[in-house]
Amino acid sequence: MSEPTIVRITTDPIDLNALQRAVTTPRDGAVVLFTGTVRGVTGAERTEKLEYEAYTEMAMAKLRQVADEMRAKFALIHGIALVQRVGEMAVGEPTVAVVVSAGHRGDGAFEAARYGIDRLKQIVPVWKKETRPDGSAWVEGDYVPSRGD
């Protein structure tokens, strides 16, 4: 049986309920859903909006790579969704979603979802511009790619 795998770069709002339905198989009793959202306050700084851009063709290939890595590391999971939104987003809007289904909560779904978002942030070519009351700036990450990334 082929397990559902969704990888997507989209300008549309992320429909979390639809993603859950899409990756849940009849064998699943556990679904873990992680969403990253636009945070309005970080320490003393206020954010008005975020804008994401992606190198779409490469980003899709890297999302597929992350999904393959998740399946290799967590053999008992079933469905996977990795969705990154691009464009402008307001405070509170979901920017990214990782959804993993499995038969039971102890079958690695939590761990796979954590691995998926961490790896997505490391290797998927997506850039973020943060707009604050005092201006806008692109946010730089600190991950240095290694062979195989």
pLDDT tens track for 93-108: 999 999 999 999 999 9
- Within a domain: residue 10? yes
Alpha-carbon span 68 to 80, nearest angstrom: 10
Based on the structure, what is the number of domains in the chain?
Answer: 1
Residue 8 to residues 12, 14, 28: CA-CA distances in angstroms?
Answer: 11, 10, 22
8 A C-beta contact, residue 38 and residue 59: no
pLDDT tens track for 16-38: 999 999 999 999 999 999 999 99
- Within a domain: residue 147? no
8 A C-beta contact, residue 124 and residue 66: yes
- Within a domain: residue 141? no
Domain that holds residue 98: 5-136
- Within a domain: residue 40? yes
Q: Residue 16 sits in a domain of what CATH number?
A: 3.90.1170.40
8 A C-beta contact, residue 91 and residue 39: yes
pLDDT tens track for 124-139: 999 999 999 998 888 8
pTM of the model: 0.93
- Within a domain: residue 119? yes
Q: What is the DSSP letter of 82?
A: E
